[in-house]
Amino acid sequence: MRFNMLQRNRPTKYRRRFFSSLLLMSFFGAILGIWAYSSYSADVDEKAGNEVNSILVNEHFNVFEPVLPGRSVALPRDFQFHPEYQHEWWHYFASLKDDRGKQYSVQWSFFRVATDERETPGWQSPQIYISNIVISSESKVWKEQRLARGGIGQAGMTNGPFRIWIDNWSWRGLGNTPFPGRLHVKTDSFGLELNTVTKGPYVLNGDNGYQKKHDLLPIASYSFSAPFLSLSGVLNLDGVAKKVAGTAWVNKEWGSGLLGMGQQGWDWFVFNLDDGTALSISRYRHNKQLPYVFGTLATRSGQVYQLTESDISMKPLKKTTLFNGKRMPLQWVISVPKYEINLTTRIKRKDMWLPFVIPYWEGPITANGSHNATGFMQLTGY
């Protein structure tokens, strides 16, 4: 009773701050619970919710900016953050070789999620930041995750020059875009410094950057890619510095509710083909509905071909049981007959389940068939 009386007598703004703090604590508690669950659980029932859609489905009581087809993505403007939307996600995939020809893969993600729609500074900021780094070779995987809240300087973004950071991990650009720029990550056992420049055009996915993800529901995001990147730098692995060089692919996506109710997750593939083109294919899976399939084929000369379900064939060949009991389709046949593309994928490592707060299988793949290709596969919601 005393607690209720005290709360009733406080001004509205203090009550709002109080409940906002409770919401933030609940969010972190849910995140930690999901993290522990995903680390040790077996398969999630296909008819039930899962670790991914519990975070990425928009809550009905929050009011964020909607994703609408009339708004086109514009660069360099949309390299900046969009706090009026609920989610924002950067992906960086790199394929590298050292001086001796040994191959390495780098996966870096930077994710922002808002617990509510307010734009308040300091400890009242509703922004949560999550970043993951994964480096893999033929013999070992290095990985780490960072979580931070916005508003207190621990994580965020600035423009002019471009910079996004969480703790001592950062991406810095020389101007108001990430390119040319440097990705810098340091942990207790490994780190990297990679300088990245563009070697081809940016690609707007979907309809000028508006990407639908469901036939009937208003589920969509804004999305663009930089699939033609060149890089050089240093990997520091277990105390040994290795000079490396290679190629990279960056994708940025933002919106409010990246999944709709009943959506279970997605299967996403990015390829650099041996003819110089870049291919991205996505399949969003639904409960009791056919999946929604889309993609983008881009050339270095600036031609972009948007692909729909009628253009794409995706067939998982078999399911593989992971160490944690999850069964996942790790080998696929992907075809785009209209452009004479037929690829059979192969993983480089089986043990690429990432038990982060947003858990998924993600790792480097190769493909052969009509083309030879290298790329990455991300499978969520299993």
Q: Is it the case that residue 63 has pLDDT exceeding 90?
A: no
Contact partners, residue 291, CB within 8 Å, separation at least 6: 283, 284, 285
* pLDDT reported for residue 203: 98
Annotate 286-324 with DSSP letters as a single string. ETTEEEEEEEEEE-TTS-EEEE-GGG-EEEEEEEEE-TT
| Most trustworthy range by pLDDT among 64-78, 190-204, 275-289 | 190-204
* pLDDT reported for residue 51: 57
Q: What angle do CA 288, 332, 140 make, to 5 degrees?
A: 115
User: What residue type is 338 in one-letter code?
Assistant: K
Mean pLDDT along residues 189-218 = 94
pLDDT tens figures, 87-106: 999 999 999 999 999 999 99
Report how far residue 1's alpha carbon sits from residue 7's, in angstroms, rounded to the nearest whole number.
10
Using DSSP's 3-state secondary structure scheme, residue 239 falls into coil
Specify which residues 363 forms β-bridges with.
377
**Mean pLDDT lowest for which of 33-47, 130-144, 166-180, 323-337?**
33-47
Q: Is it the case that residue 56 has pLDDT exceeding 60?
A: no
Report how far residue 366's alpha carbon sits from residue 255's, in angstroms, rounded to the nearest whole number.
30
User: What residue type is 352 in one-letter code?
Assistant: M
Which DSSP category does 238 fall into? T
Q: Nearest to residue 211, comparing CAs of 168, 241, 254?
A: 254
Which H or E element spans position 85? none
pLDDT, greater one: 287 or 380:
380
* pLDDT reported for residue 9: 38
Q: Is it the case that residue 198 has pLDDT exceeding 60?
A: yes
Q: What is the dihedral of CA 328, 330, 331, 333, to 10 degrees?
A: 70
* pLDDT reported for residue 260: 63
pTM of the model: 0.85
pLDDT, greater one: 245 or 218:
245
* pLDDT reported for residue 215: 84
Longest dimension (CA), the chain: 73
Q: Judging by DSSP bridges, how do beta strands 190-198 and 203-204 pair with one another?
A: unpaired
**Phi/psi at 310 (nearest 5 deg)?**
-70, -15
Residue 115, token pair as written in the block: 């617990």
Question: How far is residue 65 from each of residues 28, 83, 125, 256, measured CA to CA in Å?
Answer: 23, 9, 17, 7
**Mean pLDDT lowest for which of 51-65, 336-350, 355-369?**
51-65
Q: Which domains does the chain have, with CATH numbers?
A: 2-380 (2.40.370.10)
Q: Is it the case that residue 18 has pLDDT exceeding 90?
A: no
Q: Is it the case that residue 223 has pLDDT exceeding 70?
A: yes
Residue 181, token pair as written in the block: 């720029």
Question: How far is residue 222 from each of residues 85, 212, 225, measured CA to CA in Å?
Answer: 10, 9, 11
* pLDDT reported for residue 70: 87
Residue 339, token pair as written in the block: 């452009």
* pLDDT reported for residue 356: 93
Q: Is it the case that residue 204 has pLDDT exceeding 80?
A: yes
